Amino acid sequence: MRALLLTRYGGPDAAELRDVPQPRPGAGEVLVRVHAAGLNPVDFKTREGKLKLVQRYPLPVVMGNELAGIVEARGEGATRFAQGDRVFARMAKGAMGAFADYAVVSENLVAAMPPSLDFAAAAGVPLAGLTALQALRDELRLGPGSRVFIPGGAGGVGTFAIQLAKWLGAEVTTTASPRGRALVERLGADVVIDYTAERFEDHVRGMDGVFDLIGGDTLEKSFGVMRRGGTLVSIAAIPEPATARKDLGRGAALAALFWLASYGLRARARKHGVAYRYLFMHPSGAELAGLAQLIEGGKLQPVIDRVFPFEEIAQAFAYLESGRAKGKVVVRMQA
Ligand SMILES: NC(=O)c1ccc[n+]([C@@H]2O[C@H](COP(=O)([O-])OP(=O)(O)OC[C@H]3O[C@@H](n4cnc5c(N)ncnc54)[C@H](OP(=O)(O)O)[C@@H]3O)[C@@H](O)[C@H]2O)c1
């Protein structure tokens, strides 16, 4: 079968399309004929070797973290899905394998695809959708009347985050360039600041929570837009001790390293009287089924920017790496 194989860490040519043996489903796993797979910044960060501390893969490895397709076979003891079911999934942490004609995934991470979506749209949901859900519902605990600031609302995660924050009842302030304004307004953002023309820190105040999708300078300035007692959750900055323990299930050594690395950010958070949390999302079939229900109920729609044929996955990577995608970038394996 065709697969995007990572053979070494590096630039775009470190991963290439190759013919590799088809995987076999192990106990509790299903074999999925992949129809489409979503791209995410984690893919090029992995390729570049930037995440080795968090996730080390024995090379060569088939890349790709989320997929939509049809169940082809079941491993021993896998009973939740039948051959022919249309499913989608965020692959297990430390596994990957979605950029291929076939992939195996634990049935616990799989959910039935929303019937109204085609494969390309469904493939863009799992990673970004679950990330936004877990950050807003579980970490920021948004509810009716909460005020949340989401810098970077027009990208893969942001387009889910705006809709989910609205569904939770929050008032949403976001940033977008003129290229993304109409999109974030359509998704329900209450206040949109053009970050290319205005300083958001001059306009935003008293937020209960911030969901930071940008990191760097944007994150540093976001501490100042919150009320005391609020929480800032980042997915784009520096991990902290809870990331090691809660998200990665790792021990004291990594927690201590993250404690040191995040020292400055946590000190800044303390100065502003807010909490700092770096979330590394968790794959979950049950939570993905919840997102599918929201999609079927008309509360959530994936925004797909571009769909590339699988043979053009290098161009899909280049487009995502430009940092300008509006919604999700997807590759299609089957016509
Ligand atoms: N920790 C986790 O579990 C986790 C999970 C998912 C994602 N992430 C991380 O979260 C980040 C966002 O992911 P993504 O998939 O949403 O990325 P993405 O789709 O590539 O985001 C691109 C969007 O960001 C906008 N943008 C770029 N710079 C901006 C700025 N300074 N202010 C406001 N908007 C800006 C761009 O619009 P314009 O150019 O038009 O402004 C574009 O629409 C990445 O760093 C990714 O690695 C982490």
139, with CB counted inside 10 A (0-12, 13-18, 19+), is buried
Integer CA distances (angstroms), 111 to 80, 85, 90, 285, 331, in order: 9, 10, 10, 5, 20
Nearest residue (CA) to ligand 1, atom 20: 323
Which structure tokens are listed for 74?
């079941």
Q: How far is the CA of 40 from the centre of ligand 1 (A)?
A: 9
Q: How far is the CA of 323 from the centre of ligand 1 (A)?
A: 7
Integer CA distances (angstroms), 45 to 10, 52, 62, in order: 9, 9, 15
Which structure tokens are listed for 48?
């570049």
Length of the chain counted residue by residue: 335
**Taking every pair of C-alpha atoms in the chain, what is the biggest distance, in angstroms?**
58
191: nearest Cα among 227, 164, 153, 143: 153
Integer CA distances (angstroms), 169 to 14, 30, 137, 142, 145, in order: 44, 37, 11, 7, 6
Nearest residue (CA) to ligand 1, atom 46: 41
Task: Tell me which of 39, 40, 217 to substitute to probe ligand 1's pocket, judged by most ligand atoms within 8 Å of the beta carbon.
Answer: 40
Q: How far is the CA of 156 from the centre of ligand 1 (A)?
A: 7
Integer CA distances (angstroms), 99 to 108, 110, 195, 260, 313, in order: 20, 16, 34, 35, 9
Instruction: Specify the DSSP element, H or E, that contains 25.
Output: none
Nearest residue (CA) to ligand 1, atom 6: 128
Distance CA 133, CA 201 (A): 25
Ligand 1 neighbours, Cβ below 6 Å, are 40-42, 127-128, 131, 151-152, 154-158, 175-177, 179-180, 195, 213-214, 218, 235-236, 279-281, 320, 323-326
Q: What is the pLDDT along the chain (335 residues), one digit of tens a residue?
A: 999 999 999 999 999 999 999 999 999 999 999 999 999 999 999 999 999 988 889 999 999 999 999 999 999 999 999 999 999 999 999 999 999 999 999 999 999 999 999 999 999 999 999 999 999 999 999 999 999 999 999 999 999 999 999 999 999 999 999 999 999 999 999 999 999 999 999 999 999 999 999 999 999 999 999 999 999 999 999 999 999 999 999 999 999 999 999 999 999 999 999 999 999 999 999 999 999 999 999 999 999 999 999 999 999 999 999 999 999 999 999 87
Instruction: Specify the DSSP element, H or E, that contains 150.
Output: strand 147-150
Closest atom of ligand 1 to 41 CA is 47
Query: Which residues are paired to 66 by β-bridges?
Result: 90
Residue entry with tokens 């009320």: 227
Q: How far is the CA of 166 from the centre of ligand 1 (A)?
A: 19
Distance CA 180, CA 303 (A): 12
Q: How far is the CA of 304 from the centre of ligand 1 (A)?
A: 14
With 0.95 as the threshold, say if the pTM is over it.
yes
**173 phi/psi in degrees, rounded to 5:** -110, 130
Q: How far is the CA of 214 from the centre of ligand 1 (A)?
A: 6
> What is the separation of C-alpha 335 from the centre of its chain, rounded to a whole number of angstroms?
25
The one-letter code for the residue type at 318 is: A
Q: What is the pLDDT of residue 53?
A: 87
Cβ(39)–Cβ(330) below 8 Å: yes
Integer CA distances (angstroms), 309 to 28, 38, 65, 159, 285, in order: 31, 12, 17, 23, 26
For CA atoms 308, 71, 26, 125, the dihedral sign is positive
Distance CA 8, CA 60 (A): 7
Q: What is the pLDDT of residue 273?
A: 98
Q: How far is the CA of 150 from the centre of ligand 1 (A)?
A: 11
Q: How far is the CA of 235 from the centre of ligand 1 (A)?
A: 9
Cβ(282)–Cβ(127) below 8 Å: no
Nearest residue (CA) to ligand 1, atom 41: 177
Task: Tell me which of 324, 326, 328 to substitute to probe ligand 1's pocket, judged by most ligand atoms within 8 Å of the beta carbon.
Answer: 324
Task: Tell me which of 93, 133, 157, 193 to substitute to probe ligand 1's pocket, judged by most ligand atoms within 8 Å of the beta carbon.
Answer: 157
Q: How far is the CA of 128 from the centre of ligand 1 (A)?
A: 10
274: nearest Cα among 237, 226, 216, 219: 226
